[in-house]
């Protein structure tokens, strides 16, 4: 299909189609955390064993995301996207019907197969449909759910578990998936590419690396047995090295190394990884602090974090004007440092200060996060050639998944280190959270220096 033949109506609706998949995936991944104790009780399992329900999903994403671009090129973006939504919906239905942890884990794997394809393929369709000067605006609308989902997830999950049952946290996906499938069948363009060859050896190397890194990061903050996890981490990086050696000799590798010769792509990938180390841990650490240190309920913590979603939407309305005026380099450097300062600011209110002093910091953080994600995602694909679009988009998706894992694991490790130092925190758990926010906030401030590598004119082809 030729992008020039796409009708204005399709262009208008396409970001909404992608938004359904992003919202469903982000809501599902965060809503489950709130509900794990209730699910464990109902299935007669220890809450500690319920981690398998999360890990099985994450590992499936890590394993299959690298081939999302290849599958879309071979079978067509519409078919793969619709199939992904169907698989995710079926997995959600089977999750709600699960009578044991084993059944739940298998259902989560099915969900993961759908989740590994629907967002990367939806975004790939967006990239292929819009000219560069319209792409930022389109991605801007589609990415809003990625900011709202993590905030609404704990809140919606808390209410559903308290007033309905845990089964509804999965059933809520079905109407959203239905809307996405109906719209996709009618409006989704069907792009294909000429496939030269599938790099099976490269996929096995990269898939193994992604799998090992994901499992080590998922367990790193949740276990005392550190040796096997570090072994998996080292083995994961070793697999990346093997992939690098393979890709240097392969004519058509799954992720061509010359992708990294594109400066904007290289900086975008590295910037995503560095800045999410701090940003990704906040949605986990903030509700934990509110519940553990301040003794508030899960519902209260959900409501306190909720303003982040509203200000994120407002950020989307101004981000294009900000980028047009200041450029990507200046915007990303300044914005990253502002986010770092805001994260550090969570350390200011004391335990005896009203919890609502966190609200203005939370609201501002939602606004600047919104600008950050739109800017990083769009600059990453700004200068990709047509033949690099599929592989580059898939690699961005894998990188973001790993970056979030690194961020969450890093935040939990820092928190546990401070929690174990009784003299430093003076036997007060709230101080452990405060020091943790200072560490990850400072790290975020310094990560803004990554964007110095951008040229001040980079991203000009994205301007409307």
**327: Cα within 13 Å, side-chain hemisphere:** 11
- The whole-number pLDDT of residue 421 equals 65
Let me know: does 57 contact 115? Beta carbons within 8 Å: yes
* Dihedral angle of Cα 156, 158, 162, 163, to the nearest 10 degrees: -10
Q: Which residues contact 385 (CB under 8 A, 6 or more apart)?
A: none
- The whole-number pLDDT of residue 84 equals 94
**CATH number 3.80.30.20 given to 1-195:** no
Let me know: does 394 contact 69? Beta carbons within 8 Å: yes
- In 3D, which of 390, 414, 406, 413 has the Cα closest to residue 58? 406
Buried b / exposed e over 268-277, threshold 16 CB at 10 Å, is bbbbbbbbbb
**CATH number 1.10.260.40 given to 259-464:** no
- The whole-number pLDDT of residue 305 equals 77
- The whole-number pLDDT of residue 87 equals 94
Let me know: does 91 contact 118? Beta carbons within 8 Å: no
| Residue 110 CB coordination number (10 Å) | 21
Q: Which two tokens stand for residue 171?
A: 């059933």
91: Cα separation from own chain's centroid = 20
Encode the chain (464 residues) as per-residue pLDDT tens digits. 555 566 777 778 888 888 888 878 777 766 776 676 677 778 887 665 666 777 788 778 878 888 888 888 888 889 999 999 999 999 999 998 888 888 888 999 999 899 888 888 888 888 888 887 777 777 777 777 666 666 677 677 767 766 777 788 888 889 989 988 998 888 888 888 776 667 788 888 888 888 888 778 777 655 556 777 788 888 888 988 998 888 888 877 888 888 888 888 888 889 888 888 888 888 778 877 887 777 777 677 777 777 887 888 788 788 888 888 888 889 999 999 999 999 999 888 777 777 778 888 988 998 998 889 888 888 888 777 766 777 888 888 888 877 877 887 788 788 888 877 667 666 677 788 888 999 999 999 998 899 888 888 877 766 65
Let me know: does 408 contact 283? Beta carbons within 8 Å: no
Q: How far apart are CA 420 and CA 219, in angstroms?
A: 19
Q: What is the 3-state secondary structure (H, E, C) of the chain?
A: CCHHHCCHHHHHHHHHHHHHHHHHHHHHHHHHHHHHHHHHHHCCCCHHHHHHHHHHHHHHHHHHHHHHHHHHHHHCHHHHHHHHHHHHHHHHHHHHHCCCHHHHHHHHHHHHHHHHHHHHHHHHHHHHHCCHHHHHHHHHHHCHHHHHHHHHHHHHHHHHHHHCCCCHHHHCHHHHHHHHHHHHHHHCCCCCCCCCCCCHHHHHHHHHHHHHHHHHHHHHCCCCCHHHHHHHHHHHHHHHHHHHHHHHHCCCCCCCHHHHHCHHHHHHHHHHHHHHHHHCCHHHHHHHHHHHCCCCCHHHHHHHHCHHHHHHHHHHHHHHHHHHHHHHHHHHHHHHHHHHHHHHHCCCCCCCCCHHHHHHHHHHHHHHHHHHHHHHHHHHCCCCCHHHHHHHHHHHHHHHHHHHHHHHHHHHHHHHHHHHCHHHHCCCHHHHHHHHHHHHHHHHHHHHHHHHHCCCCCCHHHCC
Let me know: does 181 contact 33? Beta carbons within 8 Å: no
């Amino acid at each position: 299909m030729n992008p020039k033949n796409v009708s204005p109506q399709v262009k208008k609706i396409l970001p909404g189609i992608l938004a359904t998949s992003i919202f469903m995936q982000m809501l599902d991944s965060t809503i489950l955390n709130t509900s794990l104790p209730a699910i464990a009780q109902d299935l007669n399992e220890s809450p500690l064993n319920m981690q398998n329900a999360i890990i099985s999903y994450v590992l499936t994403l890590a394993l299959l995301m690298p081939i999302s671009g290849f599958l879309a090129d071979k079978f067509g973006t519409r078919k793969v996207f619709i199939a992904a939504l169907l698989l995710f919906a079926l997995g959600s239905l089977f999750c709600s019907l699960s009578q044991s942890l084993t059944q739940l884990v298998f259902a989560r794997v099915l969900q993961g197969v759908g989740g590994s394809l629907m967002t990367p393929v939806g975004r790939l369709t967006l990239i292929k449909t819009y000219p560069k000067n319209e792409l930022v605006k389109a991605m801007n609308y589609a990415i809003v759910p990625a900011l709202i989902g993590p905030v609404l997830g704990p809140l919606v999950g808390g209410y559903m578990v308290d007033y309905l049952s845990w089964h509804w946290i999965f059933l809520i996906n079905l109407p959203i998936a239905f809307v996405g499938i109906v719209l996709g069948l009618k409006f989704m363009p069907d792009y294909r590419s000429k496939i030269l060859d599938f790099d099976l050896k490269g996929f096995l190397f990269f898939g193994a690396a992604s799998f090992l890194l994901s499992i080590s990061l998922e367990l790193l903050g949740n276990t005392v047995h550190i040796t096997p996890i570090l072994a998996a981490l080292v083995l994961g990086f070793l697999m990346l090295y093997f992939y690098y050696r393979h890709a240097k000799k392969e004519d058509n590798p799954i992720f061509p190394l010359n992708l990294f010769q594109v400066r904007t792509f290289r900086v975008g990938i590295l910037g995503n990884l560095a800045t999410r180390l701090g940003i990704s841990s906040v949605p986990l650490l903030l509700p934990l602090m509110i519940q553990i240190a301040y003794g508030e309920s899960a519902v209260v913590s959900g409501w306190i974090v909720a303003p982040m979603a509203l200000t994120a939407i407002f950020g989307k309305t101004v981000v294009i004007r900000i980028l047009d005026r200041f450029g990507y380099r200046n915007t990303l450097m300044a914005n990253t440092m502002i986010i770092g300062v805001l994260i550090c600011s969570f350390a200011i209110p004391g335990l005896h200060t009203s919890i609502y002093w966190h609200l203005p910091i939370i609201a501002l953080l939602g606004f600047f996060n919104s600008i950050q994600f739109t800017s990083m995602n769009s600059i990453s694909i700004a200068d990709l050639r047509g033949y690099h679009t599929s592989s580059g988009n898939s690699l961005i998706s894998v990188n973001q998944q790993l970056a979030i894992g690194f961020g969450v694991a890093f935040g939990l490790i820092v928190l546990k280190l401070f929690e174990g130092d009784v003299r430093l925190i003076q036997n007060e758990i709230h101080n452990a959270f405060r020091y943790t926010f200072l560490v990850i906030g400072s790290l975020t401030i310094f990560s803004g220096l990554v964007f110095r590598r951008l040229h001040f004119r980079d991203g000009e082809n994205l301007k409307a």
